Structure 1
Amino acid sequence: MLRLLMIGAGGIGGYYAARLLDAGHRVVLTARGEHLGALKDNGLTVHYEGRELAHAPAAHDHQELVTQYKPDEFDLIIIALKATATASVVSELGDWLKQGQTPVLSLQNGVDNEPLLAETVGADRVIGGLAVRIGGHITRPGVIEAEGLAQIVMGAWPKVSGGADSRTPLLKTLVAAFNDAGIPARSSDNIRYELWRKLVINNGVNPLSALTGLDTRSLTHHPRFGRIVYGMMAETVEASRADGVNLEKKDLEEMFELISNFNAIKTSMLVDRERGRPLELDTIAGAVLRRCERPGIEAPYTETVHAVLQHSDE
């Protein structure tokens, strides 16, 4: 049995927590507001492709967490919050996290979360991760709807070096436990490469879906928007060079084919815009544009969509 802390029991974190609870692992959740109240009063309910997963795990806000637990009471701390919240999590929980040695796994969008966590807890405690082919949203407080394969890829950040790594045994344990829980999981020796490949998809569809109101399939199969999606993905491939990742044309083609054939889902950014919540625009499109500025790479598709979306939300 694993002892896990899920910081952020939203659509993604809540789904994975439910699967792990179903498999007999101990999972403590954090949340806030009405969602937290519902988790405490009625437990967590997840609807996933015809199944209902219902559990009553311990749920807390961050203040309750730091007063009732120590970091080393957990085998793994998972952060599944929006990337826009990473800085505030580091600010609120940084001192608490430093009290232990438990590794921290980021399951967030973008490529800037792991560096921020590494500054706080040390790079040797950071496990990079990404959730692949999953759509998940809170439909009402305490209730989540999720769909997709919901795979997890994780690895020692930024990548496995030649020497022994203390995270390797835990990664093997996690991959086995997650797969046993019905969560397709694998480890990667170069997780930063995997994170950039996901950013190719996220930058391709997230901002444009928030701007147009269209789901991923409608975007990728649209005669004009599909070209814009492909263009934004191509610009992300170019931006990866600034981090020394150096994605190639085959990565672009694979990622475009993947999102084109995936379920027709509302992106997280579209859902956030519909609900009046802050967008992950800076952590997705902004991350691409910042890396394009340094070497002078042109990114007209991303720059235009970013500017229009930013202006429309002002």
Structure 2
Amino acid sequence: MAALKILMIGAGGIGGYYAARLAEAGHQVVLTARGSHLQALKADGLTVDYEGRVLWHALPACDHQTLLRDYHPNDFDLVAIALKSTATGAVMTELCDWLRSGSVPVLSLQNGVDNEPLIAEVVGEARVLGGLAVRIGGHITEPGKVFAEGVAQIVMGAWPAQQPKDDPRADFLKVLEVAFNEAGIPTTMTENIRYELWRKLVINNGVNPLSALTHLDTRSLTHHPEFGKVVYGMMAETVKASEADGVNLTQQDLDDMFELISNFNAIKTSMLVDKEKGRPLELDSIAGAVLRRCEQLGVDAPYTFTVNALLRQQQ
């Protein structure tokens, strides 16, 4: 397969790991970052510690101002966004004119269910690919260095759903599926990415906010006699909230997701890492997304409401 040219916007734990695997497979990857992390990437390359193995690659890295000046969107086959969802709106505003000047597909690999609509407002739905990173934990340990763990799967698809006939994204998604799998990234396609994004939000809302509040990892939470019930309650509220988007998750989805996170590695969630490092939390795109939709539906979400309120009080 011919090498793909990929722009990875956001070279943190998730973006950095996937960028390293794609580069290792011979694809041309350009990273965006900022601050001391960017300086380290430029000076010393990207180092990824993954499951006892170290991946190192010297990849082109730049800030967004340099990206706008030195590159055109169509220099790339794919723009992948792996930023925290708190940054999506601001970055779409910043890159709006630049992205609109090209035709390259844009793939979101972010938490939450509200990123793709923001991207679609800028580039149009026909260029948007939804995606989610599954069973992966990752974060920057120091500038230029990333730690990642887990199976690190990707599920992707045309957003909000693949059109039944002649969707031009379908063939390109097949290319990505082959390329990512050959790079050692277990990747599957779905014709209903919105459903998959909501299933992941069920897990994220179940453990991310509560882990930041209690400083416990996912296994400690799900196996705790009290907190395990809170996790399940927050997941159930997320299932209910999905109705507002016309994605009617079921009791089976709830039980499947609870079983999955209960049997997964003891992961320190991204929100807990952010809390420890004093960074903004992705509360609005996780708990906030659930609360807004429950309010829209006229139903209560007491578990999510309480944990969200306690976390906001601490910020």
Cross-structure match for 2:194: 192
Task: Work out the number of aligned pairs and report it.
Answer: 313
- Amino acid across the alignment from 1:155: G
**2:83 is matched by which residue type in structure 1?**
L
SS of the residue aligned with 2:65?
helix
The aligned runs of 1:139-154 (5 Å cut-off) are: 139-154=141-156
| Identical counterparts, % of pairs | 72
- Counterpart mapping for 1:54-73 below 5 A: 54-73=56-75
What amino acid does structure 1 have at the position aligned with 2:155?
Answer: V
Paired with 1:152 and 1:305, the residues of 2 have a C-alpha distance of 29
> 2:108 pairs with 89, 106, 109, which one?
106
CA distance in 2, matches of 1:114, 1:168: 17
Amino acid across the alignment from 1:74: F
CA deviation profile, 1:21-50 (whole Å, cap 9, x unmatched): 000000000000000000000000001011
| TM-score where L is the length of structure 1 | 0.99
Equivalence for 1:254: 256
How much has 1:164 moved relative to structure 2? 1.2
Separation (CA, whole Å) in 1 of partners of 2:297 and 2:54: 49
The superposition leaves residues 56-77 of structure 1 with CA deviations (integer Å, 9 ceiling, x where unpaired) of 0000000000111000010000
Q: Which amino acid aligns with 1:279?
A: L
Partner AA of 2:146 in structure 1: I
Q: Please show how residues 1-314 of structure 1 align to structure 2 within 5 Å.
A: 1-313=3-315
1:91 CA drift (Å): 1.1
| TM-score of the two chains, using structure 2 as the length reference | 0.99
CA distance in 1, matches of 2:280, 2:255: 30
> What secondary structure is seen at the aligned counterpart in 2 of 1:102?
coil
The code of the aligned residue for 2:297 comes to P
Q: Distance in 2 between matches of 1:160 and 1:5?
A: 23
The alpha carbon displacement at 1:312 in A equals 1.6
Structure-2 separation of matches of 1:107 and 1:48? 19
Which amino acid in 2 is paired with 1:266? K
Q: Which runs of 5+ in 1 are unaligned?
A: none
CA deviation after TM superposition for structure 1 residue 161, in Å: 2.3
Q: Secondary structure in 2 aligned to 1:294?
A: helix
How far has the Cα of 1:297 moved from its partner? 1.2
| Residue deviations 1:44-103 (CA, integer Å, cap 9, x gap) | 000101111100000000000011100001000000000000011111101100000000
Give, as a single letter, the amino acid of the residue that structure 2 aligns with 1:255: M
AA aligned opposite 2:123: V
Aligned equivalents of 1:162 and 1:176: distance in 2? 22
CA distance in 2, matches of 1:213, 1:11: 19
Give the C-alpha shift of residue 163 in structure 1.
1.8
Residue 272 of structure 2 aligns to a residue whose secondary structure is helix
Query: Runs of 4 or more off by more than 6 Å in structure 1?
Result: none
Q: Deviations over 1:108-151 (max 9, x none)?
A: 00000000100110000000000000001111100111000000
The code of the aligned residue for 2:26 comes to G
Q: Secondary structure at the match of 2:79?
A: strand
SS of 2:297's equivalent? coil
RMSD: 0.5
Letter of the structure 2 residue corresponding to residue 277 of structure 1: R
Deviations 1:140-175 (A, max 9, x none): 100111000000000000011222111111100000
